[in-house]
């Protein structure tokens, strides 16, 4: 019996998906970094172009497999490949980017099948320096997609923050699996 | 800005000067793609109209990144090429220095050894030319600075 579950991390380039997976992985994470070009190169030296991979090994023997996607939309084929078999999605958004709500729209639309068939949680980064849009604005935007998903402020470098985001996602999925029948 | 655009244009000329040589040297070659390491197309010559340069450039980046990661994970030396072999032919992707990639698309009657050696030679030649150009630009900037 397969004692593993697969979760996917996505979000715009530079949001910190590789860092987030490294923060909670129990193994040395696998990354596929290449030199960044264009405007992105002004913010960071490298970017993921295939996938990130890490694992969380639980005490009961279950393994949580963590996959990170490339951020740029030109890697949409990798998104499709990586979504296969995933049981949940974490979308990381960066409040310092020019249009974080448009980023939300883009990832929600592209990962719609996974979100609606399993579930998702959203982490918003760099909110200390860039408080807008606030969390309630993100909830309003999600409602336009007819979605209600948990949204948290987070620091991708913090294993506690990333673990909390994972716990929130897993709790959400369990709620969906075991609906209250009362 | 103008200087950067001129440098980009000259770099593009360095790349595109290799198209004819590659097509002349490799019978069966039907496409050459130069792209950034992170998957943006820079220049292409395809003999088929329906090849999607954006998708192929991104896929080249993913393949080379995975090849390098896999070689490292298997305790092998740096990945020289990624080769895709199908019933219809070959695709070879490799680095040109740190920031560029070369991908070549060839039919099944192509000699794979010839394809690999030509791509490798081309990548090395381009890399050397771009290095020389960069060194020359840096020298020019330093010289200008001293003049001021």
Q: What is the DSSP letter of B111?
A: -
Distance (Å) of CA A45 to CA A31, A64, B28, B96, B99: 14, 29, 37, 17, 11
State the Cα torsion B122-B127-B128-B134 to the nearest 10°.
150
pLDDT exceeds cutoff 90 at A181 = no
Show the CA angle centred on residue A7, arms to residues A5 and A10, nearest 5°.
Answer: 170
Taking the CA of residue B27 and the nearest CA in chain A, the distance in Å comes to 31
Q: What percent of chain A has pLDDT over 70?
A: 96
How far from A90 is each of A6, A27, B69, CA to CA, in Å?
11, 20, 24
Q: What's residue B124's pLDDT?
A: 93
The answer to whether residue B148 is domain-embedded is no
Q: How far apart are CA A75 and CA B40, in angstroms?
A: 10
Residue B104 in domain: yes
- Domain assignment of residue B147, yes or no: no
Residue A126 φ/ψ region, left for φ over 0, alpha for ψ in the -120 to 50 degree band, beta for the rest = left
Q: Does the beta-carbon distance from A49 to B57 stay under 8 Å? A: no
Tell whether A64 lies on the interface with B, counting CB pairs under 8 A.
no
Given a contact cutoff of 8 angstroms between Cβ atoms, the answer to whether A172 and A150 are in contact is yes
The A151-153 sheet, strands edge to edge = A52-57, A63-68, A4-10, A88-94, A120-125, A151-153
Q: pLDDT for A27-37, tens place per residue? A: 999 999 999 99
Instruction: Find the CB nearest B40 among A38, A50, A77.
Output: A38
B95: closest CA of chain A, how far (Å): 11
Which domain CATH number covers B41? 3.30.450.30
Phi and psi torsions of A166, nearest 5°: -65, -45
> In which domain, by residue range, is B68 found?
2-142
Within an 8 Å CB–CB cutoff, is residue A3 touching chain B?
Answer: no
Each of the 148 residues of chain B gets a pLDDT tens digit; together they read 566 566 667 778 888 888 888 999 999 999 999 999 999 999 999 998 889 999 999 999 999 999 999 999 999 998 999 999 999 999 999 999 999 999 999 999 999 999 999 999 999 999 998 888 778 777 766 665 444 3
| A47 contacts in chain B (CB < 8 Å) | 38
pLDDT (tens digit per residue) in A127-172: 999 999 999 999 999 999 999 999 999 999 999 999 999 999 999 8
Q: Show the tokens assigned to B45.
A: 């010559």
Q: Would you identify the CATH topology of the domain A4-174?
A: Rossmann fold (3.40.50)
Residue A49 CA to residue B131 CA, distance in Å, equals 25
């Amino acid at each position: 019996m397969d004692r593993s579950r697969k979760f996917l991390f996505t979000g715009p380039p530079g949001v910190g998906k590789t860092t987030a997976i490294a923060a909670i992985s129990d193994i040395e994470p696998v990354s596929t970094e290449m030199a960044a070009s264009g405007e992105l190169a002004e913010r960071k030296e490298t970017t993921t172009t295939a996938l990130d991979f890490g694992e969380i090994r639980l005490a009961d023997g279950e393994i949580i497999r963590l996959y990170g996607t490339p951020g740029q939309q030109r890697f949409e084929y990798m998104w499709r490949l990586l979504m296969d078999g995933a049981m949940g999605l974490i979308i990381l958004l960066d409040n310092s980017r020019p249009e974080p709500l448009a980023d939300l729209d883009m990832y929600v639309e592209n990962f719609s099948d996974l979100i609606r068939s399993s579930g998702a949680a959203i982490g918003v980064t760099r909110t200390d320096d860039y408080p807008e849009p606030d969390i309630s604005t993100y909830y309003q935007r999600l409602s336009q997609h007819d979605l209600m998903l948990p949204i948290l402020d987070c620091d991708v470098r913090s294993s506690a923050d990333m673990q909390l985001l994972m716990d929130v996602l897993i709790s959400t999925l369990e709620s969906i699996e075991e609906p209250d029948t009362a | 800005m103008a200087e950067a655009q001129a440098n980009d244009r000259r770099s593009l000329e360095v790349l595109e000067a290799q198209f004819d040589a590659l097509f002349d040297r490799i019978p069966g070659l039907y496409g050459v793609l130069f792209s950034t390491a992170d998957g943006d197309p820079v220049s292409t010559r395809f003999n088929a109209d329906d090849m999607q340069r954006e998708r192929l450039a991104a896929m080249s980046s993913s393949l080379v990144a995975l090849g390098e990661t896999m070689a490292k994970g298997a305790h092998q030396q740096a990945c020289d090429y990624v080769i895709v072999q199908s019933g219809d032919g070959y695709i070879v992707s490799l680095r040109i220095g740190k920031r560029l990639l070369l991908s070549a698309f060839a039919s099944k009657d192509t000699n794979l050894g010839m394809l690999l050696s030509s791509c490798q030679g081309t990548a090395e030649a381009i890399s050397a030319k771009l290095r020389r150009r960069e060194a020359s630009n840096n020298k020019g900037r330093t010289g200008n600075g001293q003049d001021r």
